Structure 1
């Protein structure tokens, strides 16, 4: 599982880095105003489908069914099932897309109620949404092909294809803008074009793996009915984080202009560790758990779950602490260029801190949900999802006025923490999660090492005043020093507290590198 975790995590990290470059271009060209708000709302709806399907409900329901069919019925039956699902999925998505294009003005009044007060921003959002909406057809189809590749344990090909989203997006902003009414139009067309590229690359990868996935005419079979029963409730259960973020966007449209943009760029930076760790853990954990449970190997399933929890907490706790301390210099260094000012970056950093408080919880939802899905239970996460969605909405309404652009991110973080508490307690009660005796002790020591790192960075920042000139250069130097220093302090803290043996870890890494060199 660790190999698959690192493979998916590595490709996802590269994709997130390219995503930061794309977001830097969007910030530099559009700043944090009405045009940026309109584009971000236009992108939110298809992007939510991407995350729900690519990293959530569809993957959670389809991969176990496909893996079981592959194991029990053979490759040919599994391929036929996948092609049948593909045909039904495409038919449903095309109908949904056509309806979305027709009724887009009404949809925008629901997901962006604040835009109706400004006709120009509303009209632009409708136009951009109609451009980006076909992306949901393409990316959901790509999710099916990716699920097949994951079921075949070809994680690298499935993860690498998603790089094209940011590559095409960057190219669209840089080269298509002169031929479009605005940079927002160019970026919107880049979204849809990237969907064609991603789906094409994944279909090619599946063909090379010996799996022809040409969709069959739509026909409702017993397996498709089972997939639907498992998938529909999982849209809330596994995608509650994304739905919470969509609620944040709805609330943000009711706030002053630019709030949507400030929260978007904060979320994008928070998505760097969240996407890398959450997507990697969720993607690799589900098929492994399914295989262990199919073999009735409960001990192996529990050990796998505990390893996943240990991996993600060891990495997300210092990431949370680092973002809390370094949010302002990071946001200013990355985004305070062109039309995006230092002040706007500092405001966005406030939203980032609120998101960072829930970072471990956001990732743990991705790790705990597969324990339900692998056992064929998608109803429990949906019940928890409905409850936490309600809590998130209530918190949003309570916090939006006093905290403005900080309120919705803080509401999402608190809702995610509550979600994790309920998921973990139910899994423990059902004996589907057995934390080892040392787990809670290790968690406390990891948290202590993170706090020591954060305090050291705070102390260093207090002695380094912000210059009035060459601010970007200074911030780059500062982060070049503080980020590696923080990582080193955290590793030393783990060593001192006995959580990690650095010498053994380095020796293990050398052995793996040597084995790879010999194979090459």
Structure 2
């Protein structure tokens, strides 16, 4: 795929993700206003986090990365009947396994609550509420995993808009539920289940258009399915380690001050906003392209695609990282400081966001570098490095939180976000070093000048943002409309100053074209 087509596809995915993330912020603003960042909201977020734990292992963390290279190879070398048969076999096998997991998860809901958040389980009323909510949210694991499979197929056929837009449905369902009953989180849990059903159903007509209306069958003995499973094995293990790391953070946060889970959640949501628009969009687009280039045995084109992805990513990720760091207070105040979300919640959330800012850069690099290994069906390499980085991150989390508690610091939950940043950056360094060492990625000349231009533009942008931001107390005292207009003005000024400096330094869109 040419750089112009890759850039266009990235733009489509980024636009759909932008719409979803904006609606996600509307959702979170309502959550903050109606429920605050206290014990009840912690319970719902826990019930949502547990199925997401499994989703990231089976869907995002393993299935898509293992399935797309095999599916691309069959699509390139086989007949349409082979493609349909593989899809049906994977869909049937995945659906059967996840149905059993869902049944067990619903029956074992109280045990899962105790495992994921012993601090919540220690309170009988909150434990009962969390178990009830989890029985509604846990089936989302199966529904969204099958939706991810359908989305992976559509991406392979170049249909990026529909899978990227599907998350909009979840946000719409949760927004509607918040207005149905703004005093009970149970309706939110029901909305999660409804959203999973609608998201899966939304994909089906688009599959039919490419001749892949699903007819699931059990494919346990299918050699191609077994190949996908073999590729999934290391990725599942690595993703499981990642989720264990998140589980450890959840356990620790549940044992800290009430509201710690919510503060981390709201900060993480702000960090993930640019992550979805920029990083995941680039990663989603390049995986099918890298897989096709590997099948075609085109190493120069393969390396050029990686180089292009890194240049586009850093062009957007570097100023986004600086923006998250410098605008943490105004962002949290504008989006969440309403109703039950008070001044203490503002401080605790913005401190967590400042610590998460560098995690955005690290995770972005990992998201773009990992497809280079999965496209070559080298699943063990990124898993090994991921395990090393996450293990170091978990150790750092325990050490930093322990230090905060020993020194009686006011925001020990920030240590969890800081450890996440360090772990993600370490992982990115390991992956990039391996790609360079193996000769898989050979950087195109001119990287030194490119990075110098980015650094110069970010420094100018940072000066503009600091000059315009003013004291945080002024943001808290202002009306919502004033906060929104002022924040939008600052973001526009930051964008204009950043790209304006780049233009003055001679950077043009043509410089983002592939060299091979």
TM-score (norm 1): 0.92
The equivalent residue for 2:312 is 311
Partner of 2:292: 291
**CA displacement, residues 94-149 of structure 1 (integer Å, 9 cap, x when unaligned):** 11111111222222222112223322222222221121000001001111111111
What is the aligned partner in structure 2 of residue 495 from structure 1?
Answer: 503
Residue segments in structure 2 that go unaligned for 5+ positions in a row: 1-5, 405-410
Q: What is aligned with 1:384? A: 385
In the TM superposition, what is the alpha-carbon distance from 1:81 to its structure 2 partner?
Answer: 0.7
Would you say the 8 A contact 1:267–1:355 is kept in 2?
Answer: yes
Asked if 1 retains the 8 angstrom alpha-carbon contact of 2:332 and 2:350, the reply is: yes
Unaligned runs of 5+ in 1: 509-520
Matched, 1:25 2:30: yes
- Say if 1:242 and 1:432 are closer, same or farther in 2 by CA, change over 3 A: farther
Number of the residue aligned with 1:167: 172
1:475 and 2:483 equivalent? Answer: yes
RMSD: 2.1
1:64 aligns with 2:82: no
Partner of 1:43: 48
Native 8 Å contact 2:71 2:83 kept in 1: yes
Q: What residue in structure 2 maps to residue 350 of structure 1?
A: 351
d(CA) in 2 for partners of 1:156, 1:480: 27
Measure the CA separation in 2 of the matches of 1:390 and 1:234.
16
SS in 1 for 2:217: coil
**Where does residue 365 of structure 2 map in the other structure?**
364
| Equivalent position SS for 1:183 | coil
Map of 2:130 onto structure 1:
125
Q: Note if 1:434 corresponds to 2:442.
A: yes
- The residue that corresponds to 1:336 in the other structure is 337
Is 2:420 the partner of 1:412? Answer: yes
1:450 aligns with 2:454: no
Q: Secondary structure in 2 aligned to 1:191?
A: helix
Q: For residues 356-414 of structure 1, what are the alpha-carbon distances to aligned partners after superposition, in whole Å with 9 as ceiling and x for unaligned?
A: 12211111111000010011111111111211221111111112241412111111010
Q: Which residue of 2 aligns with 1:97?
A: 102
Report the more deviating stretch, 432-441 or 147-156. 432-441
Separation in 1, partners of 2:207, 2:278: 25
SS at match of 1:328: helix
Aligned to 2:90: 85
Instruction: State the secondary structure of the residue aligned to 1:153.
Output: coil
Query: What residue number does 1:516 align with?
Result: none
Shift of the alpha carbon at 1:425? Answer: 0.4
Aligned-partner SS, 1:358: helix
1:458-510 deviation per Cα after TM superposition (whole angstroms, max 9, x unaligned): 12334897177434343223212211001111112212333x237x79xx9xx
Contact kept in structure 1, 2:55 and 2:144, CA below 8 Å: yes
CA distance in 2 between counterparts of 1:142 and 1:2 reads 25
CA 246–49 in structure 1, closer or farther in 2 if over 3 Å, else same: same
Pairs within 5 Å for 1:204-283? 204-237=205-238, 244-283=245-284
**Alpha-carbon separation, structure 2, partners of 1:239 and 1:425:** 24
Q: Which deviates more from structure 2 when the two are superposed, residues 351-360 or residues 255-264?
A: 351-360
Aligned to 1:299, the other structure's residue is in SS state helix
Conservation of the 8 A alpha-carbon contact between 1:88 and 1:220: no
